[in-house]
Amino acid sequence: MINSDFRSHFPFFKNEANWVYLDSAATTLKPQVLIDETMAFYQSAGSVHRSQYDLAQTEAYEMARDLVVKRFNVESRNAVIWTSGTTHAINLVANGLSDEIKAGDDIIVSVAEHHANFIPWQQLAERKKANLIVLPVDENYYIDINRLSESLSSKTKIVAFNLVSNVTGVRQPVEKLIPIIREKSSAKILLDMAQAVNSEQIDIQQLDADFYAFSAHKMYGPTGVGVLTGKLQSLATIRPLFFGGKMLTDISEQKLILAELPYRLEAGTPNIAGIISFGKVLAWLEQWDLTILNNSLYQLAGKCQNRLQQYANIQILKSNVITPTISFNFSNHHHADIATILTEQKIALRTGEHCAKPYLRYLEKTGTLRISLAHYNTGEDITRFFNALDMTLQLLED
Ligand code: PMP
């Protein structure tokens, strides 16, 4: 019931009633509150932190930061840095720590990374003549703990991996991995939370990584807004990626004095409309009981997975824990053929390499089909999906 209530806030379902949206891992749908706030911003005037008259905008903008603090239990509002998305946040860290990386140092990632959490580290390693160690995953798609443990040493400078994979939906047991990294190295740890932020309540201080990156558009917010957060002490070691307005306390012809965090990492006019409206979405989300919403989401995902498992010739890329993103293949049909026929039946899902080519190659796949649920999905969506899938398989098998 709560899903139907929640769903009623998303105009997509009225505007595109023929479609079944099962692609929330790519980007979630947008609630009315986001649309209203974005319109309101563009009908008003002013920037933030710049003029006397823009006080209301600046207040709303900074309030959004406070709501991120509250949602993720961030240690300080100064540790919330606005970015344009997860990709920007990870690049900010990779670039910002580059002075600390020397030839022969180790950077560790997993093979299960999205390109956004793979390429910045690969390129940094190449530039610095450091070693990129790529950890394999086991048969449950979990990072191989023994290989992680063996790879760690005083040479390890950075360990970066995802909390939840966008390819498989599998959640890494970071509560086990992070203490191992802490025990065996003094590496900085970055968690790519892009796929985790919408389906669990994350307490970042409890997780104990140094850096966390996520995108607002994966949790009912706008595109073009993301967050880099983490430990204030670790964020303070990052060299800015961009230089420009509002990131300094003083400048002379020869010398720059950077502002304190978060502003030193936020040069230039930010995505004000996006950030303010993301704040409104976070405030709106506070009205909902996320535990109930999440329980119902996982229940629906469980039903979906059980039903999928009954198909002949299916391989589901899963661990033993249910998650709202389910990736699968049929051994007797190409994933693109299935996706094409499903799309004709107005099922929105994702197929292909999921911006994770090294992972797909490791899994020896050219692509997978991926359905991903969010709190607005209902049993009826799932019924429509399975009807379409039955029809698709029938067509392909005739
Ligand atoms: N990491 C993961 C795990 C993702 O799923 C995504 C988005 N698909 C990203 C990073 C990149 O996010 P963005 O494109 O919003 O920067």
Average pLDDT, the chain: 96
Q: How many CB atoms lie within 10 A of CB 340?
A: 12
Q: Which pLDDT band holds residue 45 (cuts at 50, 70, 90)?
A: confident
pLDDT in tens, 71-121: 999 999 999 999 999 999 999 999 999 999 999 999 999 999 999 999 999
Mean pLDDT throughout 334-355? Answer: 96
Let me know if domain 33-286 sits in CATH 3.40.640.10: yes
In this prediction, residue 44 carries a pLDDT of 85
pLDDT in tens, 1-33: 677 899 999 999 999 999 999 999 999 999 999
Q: In the annotation, is 304 catalytic? A: no
| Nearest residue to 122 via CA among 101, 143, 137 | 101
Q: Which position among 180, 259, 355, 396 bears the catalytic label?
A: 355
Domain 2-22+289-397 top-level CATH class: alpha beta
Residues of the chain with CATH 3.90.1150.10: 2-22+289-397
Distance from Cα 87 to the centre of ligand 1, integer Å: 6
With 0-12 / 13-18 / 19 or more C-beta atoms within 10 angstroms meaning exposed / middle / buried, residue 332 is exposed
Place of tokens 């430990």: 231
DSSP helix/strand/coil, 157? strand
Distance from Cα 169 to the centre of ligand 1, integer Å: 13
| Nearest residue to 12 via CA among 1, 387, 24, 2 | 24
Q: Which residues, other chains included, contact 76 with Cβ-Cβ below 8 Å and sequence gap of 6+?
A: 69, 232
Residues of the chain with CATH 3.40.640.10: 33-286
Prediction ipTM score? 0.99
Give the Cα separation of 241 and 206 in Å (integer).
28
The answer to whether 138 and 144 have CB atoms below 8 angstroms apart is yes
The atom of ligand 1 lying closest to the CA of 84 is 16
Distance from Cα 254 to the centre of ligand 1, integer Å: 38
Q: Considering the entire predicted model, what is its pTM?
A: 0.97
